[in-house]
Amino acid sequence: MSSTTISPPNRPLPTVRTPMEPPREGLSSRTSSEPRSGWPAPWRSRTTSARRFEHKYQLTLSTYYRVRAALRPFVRHCWFSESAPDHRYFIRSLYFDTYDYLAYFEKVTGQPNRIKLRLRSYAPRRDAVDFVSVELKTRSGSLVEKFATRVAPEECDHFLRHRTWIDQADPVLSEFRRLALLRDQRPKLLVDYRREAFLPKDHTRARITFDQAMAYAQADRLFPQTAFFRPPARRWVILEVKIAEALPDWLQGIVRTFGLKAVPNSKYAHGIEQTQHAIFR
């Protein structure tokens, strides 16, 4: 079969109708949708938002161990990592895109304003989750805003089948559906990985994470019966700093000591390149 080369589509970015007002103080204790129902407040709120800057670094395994050791005096595990085996918890994301991969091309061509739609689970099996996180993430230059809400797995299934939510009053669900229909975005890719997350001891409004063991699979469901996962081309550990302000001195010092350079790093873009060889070669 001959391969098909897709040229970058040229269509304007739609305007995002802000589903809810992000916290004015920036990254706060209500910026994650990762808890299970039994986890402590303030993690039980269904709808969350965050406005922040993101810095990403690709680390070799040896550099990861050295950077992690240098960070330890300044940080503590977040509740999720503290409770997870080996302090690493599971994340699965199902990303949406158009038939001609508009979101992918916007990322790799460096478009400053982008929109990302995804569904997220914190277990690989449907019978092990009690909610799915529905997430809308926008970027304007270096500023990232994320809006998320939680739904039952059954409601997630309903949306994937019918492209409409049972709960039509939730502002995040409403905007997620509007954008999915506006661009005809549909599920394209699963990304699985393990995350170790830290919070600064000095109460800097930041979240520091190490992501590893990435795997990618083409899929149109969050929990497909069969999925053929591919590992990344290189086994990087991804260090992400999500922060509402400038990097604190101690973190700037670690970045300088190890010569870390912030680089664009999209799990979705890497996954498309690993799973869509016939299209993108």
* β-bridge pairing 48-59 and 143-151: antiparallel
pLDDT at residue 106 greater than cutoff 60: yes
Beta carbons of 100 and 123 less than 8 angstroms apart: no
Other Cβ atoms less than 10 A from the Cβ of 87: the count is 17
Return mean pLDDT, the chain. 86
pLDDT at residue 15 greater than cutoff 80: no
Rounded CA Rg of the chain: 18
Going by the DSSP 8-state scheme, the letter that residue 107 receives in this structure is H
Token duo for residue 113: 């304003």
What sign for the dihedral angle of Cα 3, 8, 13, 19?
A: positive
- Give the percent of the chain with pLDDT over 90: 70
Strand partners, 128: none
CA distance 187 to 279: 17
How confident is the model over 150-165, as a mean pLDDT?
96
How confident is the model over 62-88, as a mean pLDDT?
96
pLDDT at residue 55 greater than cutoff 70: yes
Q: Is 261 strand, coil or helix?
A: coil
Q: Which CATH architecture has domain 48-280?
A: Alpha-Beta Barrel (3.20)
pLDDT at 49 (0 to 100): 80
Q: Is 4 strand, coil or helix?
A: coil
The domain ranges of the chain are: 48-280
pLDDT at 39 (0 to 100): 37
pLDDT at 259 (0 to 100): 97
Token duo for residue 147: 């809006």
Cβ burial, residue 104 (10 Å; 0-12/13-18/19+): buried
**pLDDT range class, residue 21, cuts 50, 70, 90:** very low
**pLDDT range class, residue 276, cuts 50, 70, 90:** confident
Using alpha carbons, select from 148, 188, 180 the residue that is nearest to residue 14.
180
What is the 3 state secondary structure string of 178-224?
A: HHHHHCCCEEEEEEEEEEEEEEECCCCCEEEEEEEEEEEEECCCCCC
Read off the amino acid at residue 266: S
